[in-house]
């Protein structure tokens, strides 16, 4: 280094105080900028919390509605199954009666 670093140091107390004041102002300016940024982030996070809260409420409502639909569908499926089972029993009864009538008819035809 061709230049002596000691020549760059302040020589008087007022120079030292000016240097300190300049440094403090720079730090203060940076802290102010950080405060503005943090405030902006805080506002954004608060907005996100509100959105997540509304989303959670909506999801709970949708899940409740879906559970109601599934329960209703299950009930209707049970009713349908019971109806089909009853129809099957009725058809079996009709076929049994028809079979009895056919047997009786065949017996009459075979005796004549």
* 50 vs 88: CA distance, rounded Å: 56
DSSP conformation class of 5: G
Mean pLDDT, all residues of the chain: 90
Mean pLDDT of 32-37: 94
Which residues touch 18 (CB under 8 Å, ≥6 apart)?
10
Q: Is the pTM of this model over 0.85?
A: no
Q: pLDDT band at residue 62, thresholds of 50, 70 and 90? A: very high
The domains of the chain are located at 11-111
* 91 vs 93: CA distance, rounded Å: 5
For residue 109, pLDDT over 80 is answered with no
Cα→Cα distances 98→37, 45, 83, 93, 111, Å? 89, 77, 22, 9, 20
Mean pLDDT of 3-8: 60
Return the pLDDT at 5.
55
Task: Name the 3-class secondary structure at 61.
Answer: helix
* 78 vs 84: CA distance, rounded Å: 10
């Amino acid at each position: 280094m061709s230049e002596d670093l000691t020549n760059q140091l302040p020589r008087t107390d007022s120079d030292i105080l000016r240097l300190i004041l300049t440094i403090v102002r720079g730090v203060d300016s940076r802290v102010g900028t950080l405060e503005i940024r943090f405030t902006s982030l805080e506002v954004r996070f608060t907005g996100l919390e509100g959105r997540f809260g509304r989303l959670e409420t909506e999801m709970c409502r949708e899940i409740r509605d879906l559970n109601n639909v599934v329960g209703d569908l299950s009930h209707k499926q049970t009713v349908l199954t019971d109806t089909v089972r009853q129809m099957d029993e009725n058809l079996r009864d009709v076929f049994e009666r028809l079979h009895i009538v056919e047997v009786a008819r065949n017996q009459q035809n075979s005796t004549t």
